[in-house]
Amino acid sequence: MIPAAFDYVRAESADHAIALLAEHGDEAKLLAGGHSLLPLMKLRLASPTVLVDVGRLDDLRFIRDAGDHIAIGALTRHRDLEISELLSQTAPLLHHAAGHVGDPQVRHRGTIGGSLAHADPASDLPAVVLALGGTLVVEGPNGQREIPIGEFYTGFLESALEPDELLTEIRIPKLDTLGWSFQKFNRRAQDWAIVGVAAVRADGHSGVGLVNMGSTPLYAAGVVDALHSGATAAEAAERANEGTEAQSDNNATVEYREHLARVLVRRALEESGLS
Amino acid sequence: MKITMTVNGVERTDEVEPRTLLAHHLREALGLTGTNIGCDTSSCGACTIHVDGQSVKSCTMLAVQADGSEVLTIEGLADGDTLHPMQRCFQQNHGLQCGYCTPGMVMAAVSLLEENPNPTEREVRLGLEGNLCRCTGYHNIVQSVLACAAESSGAAS
């Protein structure tokens, strides 16, 4: 399978990438690791006429302690997250989940920014960043703005990113973590999750994200509401499907997905230390 | 677009279409057909090579993305007639049946041991999750990798 023809431009800087996006508008797509976009292009489900390669913008590849949060450059690869000592100390849920994205070859190329911006409801990291309450920093022709992850996903493969904006940084609040869990249910090790759950319990913060339970990555607001009311893990898990719109496919029916969501949320909360 | 990459130690400069996949460039322009294409959807791992020292699936990377990189394919692994230890361990442990997945398995396994020189059996299985064997010959593949790890750590100590 070969993608449709396109013009390839290598961005020399974030500003250059934004200028190229502004010039080419909807016709252009950003290429980072390429592990979400290239498969779509090979299947001709995406046919951008211009590819702006941001893969060499090494100044967007970092993980650093920024006081009240951890700042992660958008081009940081899954492998870098997986082996980061700083992340294992400060955001163990993200550290762990990054090691379960795809397979080692995918993790060597794929980036956190690409994964979040692609807005695939079946991806692991959006649910994790939803659970952690992260903030996305994006840059466009009019400067920088911050988007809370809860406001980022607007539809299937759609986000609040404007066509001429570049996601540059992900901010993960430093939580006083009491417990966390990442549950990924699939049939083969490397597959997308049929259903996945990311949960974190911290001093003053509880968060639960759902993978593959609707047209966007989802925050399990009902579950978190129950937790704030002092529910047990089993009671809170009963609210796992509030606001979900699971789809049927070859792997699972809607009913099965909803069952999985309840079971996996309960397991995630129990593993996070809630009885 | 003109790209230059070092492939198995030899610098190569070629004109490629931007949409040319690295796997196709290696096989068709450079004649390195040891890199197999299996599923073509980044699932099976048959096309695994190393780019700048890390395993990648060359069917899911554009040749232009590898411009300026060091590329290692299965053809570049042996030292002349002397097999790479991983190749020898696959041979000695019958780590292959039909052989189609083997180049990708070997390249993934070499990358795995570089990141984790003394893996447990479970870590080997997880480390090779991106490579499928249609013969289901996983048992001996895992044994091959464990044998290579044991040999290397023995040599080091």
Residue B128: pLDDT above 60? yes
Q: What is the secondary structure of A32-43 as a DSSP string? A: SS-TTHHHHHHT
Question: Is the CB of B65 less than 8 angstroms away from the CB of A5?
Answer: no
| Per-residue pLDDT band at B38 (split at 50, 70, 90) | very high
| DSSP symbol at A69 | E
Mean pLDDT of all residues in chain B? 96
Per-residue confidence (pLDDT) for residue A141, from 0 to 100: 95
Per-residue confidence (pLDDT) for residue A216, from 0 to 100: 98
Query: For residue A38, what is the nearest residue in chain B, using CA coordinates?
Result: B60
Question: Which of B1, B48, B57 has its CB closest to that of A8?
Answer: B1
Please check whether residue B73 is in contact with residue B35, taking contact to mean a CB–CB distance below 8 angstroms: yes
Taking residues B18-29, what's their average pLDDT?
A: 98
Question: Which of B20, B40, B43 has its CB closest to that of A190?
Answer: B43
Residue B154: pLDDT above 80? no
Q: Exposed, middle or buried: residue A230 (CB in 10 Å: 0-12, 13-18, 19+)?
A: exposed
pLDDT along chain A (275 residues), means of 10: 96 97 93 95 95 97 98 98 98 98 97 97 98 98 97 97 96 97 90 96 96 98 97 98 96 97 98 92
CA A87/CA A98 separation, integer angstroms: 10
CB contacts of A104 in chain B (<8 Å) are 55, 108, 111-112, 115, 127, 129-130
Per-residue confidence (pLDDT) for residue A190, from 0 to 100: 79
pLDDT one-digit tens code per residue, B63-119: 999 999 999 999 999 999 999 999 999 999 999 999 999 999 999 999 999 999 999
Question: Which of B48, B60, B127 has its CB closest to that of A38?
Answer: B60
For chains A and B, CB pairs below 8 A equal: 78
Residue B22: pLDDT above 90? yes
Per-residue confidence (pLDDT) for residue B108, from 0 to 100: 98
In what side-by-side order are the strands of the sheet with A166-173? A63-65, A69-73, A166-173, A135-140, A143-148
Per-residue confidence (pLDDT) for residue A14, from 0 to 100: 97
Q: A110 to chain B nearest CA, in Å?
A: 10
Share of chain B above pLDDT 90, in %: 94
Query: For residue B112, what is the nearest residue in chain A, using CA coordinates?
Result: A104
What is the enclosing helix (H) or strand (E) of B137? none
Residue B37: pLDDT above 60? yes
Pairing of strands B10-15, B2-7: antiparallel
| Per-residue pLDDT band at B155 (split at 50, 70, 90) | low
Please check whether residue A210 is in contact with residue A239, taking contact to mean a CB–CB distance below 8 angstroms: no
Question: Is the CB of B43 less than 8 angstroms away from the CB of A106?
Answer: no
Question: Which of A4, A103, A109 has its CB closest to that of B61?
Answer: A109
